[in-house]
Structure 1
């Protein structure tokens, strides 16, 4: 597998981080049959894939419509991703994703059907939020041609499948890792994400100031 694709998959894995959504998934699907749990997991994973595919194809066009240069967006997106990484390494989670401690699960059950809760809040923004969407746009804006674009979409498909498998095994993973294990994993992912963020920022600075770097 190409090194660049591995880097994209790593970035998606860390930013989407399905492990951070396990508690939310278990709470949202409490009392559901296995069939309904599978349906929620499938819809959430499909939403993640569609979001990645959409912003891969249309992300650069959106930037042009808004008059935002690719270099500026890379620097801004890299800073956002770096702040997320710092919070993850400090054990504070992702600052641009909802706080599960203050989330009203009962209200969601009352007013949102299971299929809707699979999209919001489980898939968006709990699993793929502003940081993930920004990263998709950044990587897609750096490539041209159908093959690299297809590679990003394939990476999104692989991550979506991984998210589905994690959600279906949510109970076993939560029991196996526990709060301590999930916290350690979050810190490790934060460290990897910080490295990805620095690369994105440097790439953006190269685009804005090609003679300086």
Structure 2
């Protein structure tokens, strides 16, 4: 169970990327009163958590409804995560997030960023949804489910702290250090993604 917890923890940390969300949130909430910014951060994390919980508990039922097997989802999810990992290594994911955030900033009538873009797609995006469904598909049982959800809860708590402390984090990390961390996490995610694909192919053909 410890191995599952660590694997889940690393996967969620890499995909959700709390340090990467912090500067985006700082840009989105520039000039917003601290109390309001904290409230939006909490709301964003809670909404994202609810979305991921739904896919964790009912993801397999959704797959069954559309006639897809778990092994096919492992392959598809692994490919999706590998694409995200490649974008992280090449810094395209960060650029896309920043572009999305700038569009929100440039639209004056949008004030509450907790639902879009923070909760979805930045926290509960395609990568994190695929990740939790892939992890849940590895086995059954209450203990395994609780271990995976505990790892998710810990990462969401870290994400909340990162959003609340976005300003100080930006000053401490700086752009260069953040870029290095993002690329390292991208390499780890690529390895995890490859393993998902291998598991899916093994389950389908062997």
Equivalent pair of 1:84/1:94 in contact (CA under 8 Å): no
Q: Name the structure 1 match of 2:183.
A: 187
Partner Cα separation in structure 2 for residue 183 and residue 125 of structure 1 = 21
Q: Given the two structures, how large is their TM-score scaled by the length of structure 2? A: 0.92
Q: Name the structure 2 match of 1:36.
A: 36
Partner Cα separation in structure 2 for residue 86 and residue 121 of structure 1 = 22
Which string of whole-angstrom CA distances, capped at 9 and with x for unpartnered residues, describes residues 101-153 of structure 1? Answer: 3532335441x342xx2121012112231111111111112221222112211
Q: Name the structure 1 match of 2:6.
A: 6
Where does structure 1 lack aligned partners over 5 or more consecutive residues? Answer: none
Equivalent pair of 2:71/2:204 in contact (CA under 8 Å): yes
2:173 maps to 1:173: no
The 5 A counterparts of 1:10-89 are 10-89=10-89
Instruction: State the secondary structure of the residue aligned to 2:75.
Output: helix
2:139 maps to 1:143: yes
Partner Cα separation in structure 2 for residue 65 and residue 127 of structure 1 = 26
- Seen in structure 2, the aligned counterparts of structure 1 residues 108 and 10 have a Cα distance that, compared at 3 Å, is farther
Instruction: State the secondary structure of the residue aligned to 2:31.
Output: coil
Which structure is higher in RCO with an 8 Å CA cutoff and minimum separation 6? 2
CA apart distance, 1:14: 0.3
Count of residue pairs the alignment pairs up? 205
Q: CA RMSD in A?
A: 1.7
Partner Cα separation in structure 2 for residue 190 and residue 26 of structure 1 = 22
Q: Given the two structures, how large is their TM-score scaled by the length of structure 1? A: 0.89
Equivalent pair of 1:79/1:201 in contact (CA under 8 Å): yes
